[in-house]
Amino acid sequence: MIILTRHRTAFLNKDNEWEDSDGNILLKHTTLGEVIRERRLELGISQRELASRLKGDRTPFCSPQTLNNIEHNDRLGEQYWYSLSKELGIAHCVFVYYGLMVPEGYVHPFKYPLDVIEKAFDELRDTLHNHIYTL
C-alpha cells in the first residue's frame, strides 16, 4: 500500500513497517514488552532490580521470570501496569494503548513517541467529557 503524506510517499515494507522511497523506516512496529524493556534499559535497571520493585493487583511481588515473560510478550502482565508505570515513568495510557488496543486491532502497533500517545488519550478524554454537555 502506498500513501502520500504531507512530506513524502511511503509504503508498507515486508516487515509491515512504513518506509519511504529512500528506504528510511518512518514508523516501526513495537510491542508493550519492547516499550517496557527499552525504558528499563534507558534507566539502567536490571530485570531483577525492577521486578523487586513491582507489586501487582493480585500479588505483592513480581518475579524476574514474570518480568522477563512480560518483556518478551509471553504474558501481558496487566496486574503490574500501575507499578510499571510508576517505576518506569511511562503514562498508564501507554500500557492501555499497546496492551489492549493494539492486540484488539483498534490501532496500529507502530512505535509512536510516548507523549503522542498521552496527547491522544487526553484528547479522547476531553472529547468524551465535552460530549456530556451536549446531552
Full pLDDT tens readout for the chain, 135 residues = 555 556 667 777 777 777 887 888 877 888 999 999 999 999 999 999 999 999 999 989 999 999 999 999 999 999 999 999 999 999 999 999 999 998 888 888 888 899 999 999 999 999 998 888 776
Q: Where along the chain do its domains lie?
A: 1-29, 31-132
Q: What is the pLDDT of residue 110?
A: 86
Specify the pLDDT at position 28: 82
Return the CATH superfamily for domain 31-132.
lambda repressor-like DNA-binding domains (1.10.260.40)
Q: How far apart are the first and last CA of the chain?
A: 40
pLDDT value of residue 38: 95
The vertex-122 CA angle with 10 and 99, nearest 5°, equals 65
Closest among 6, 52, 27 to 112, alpha carbons compared: 27
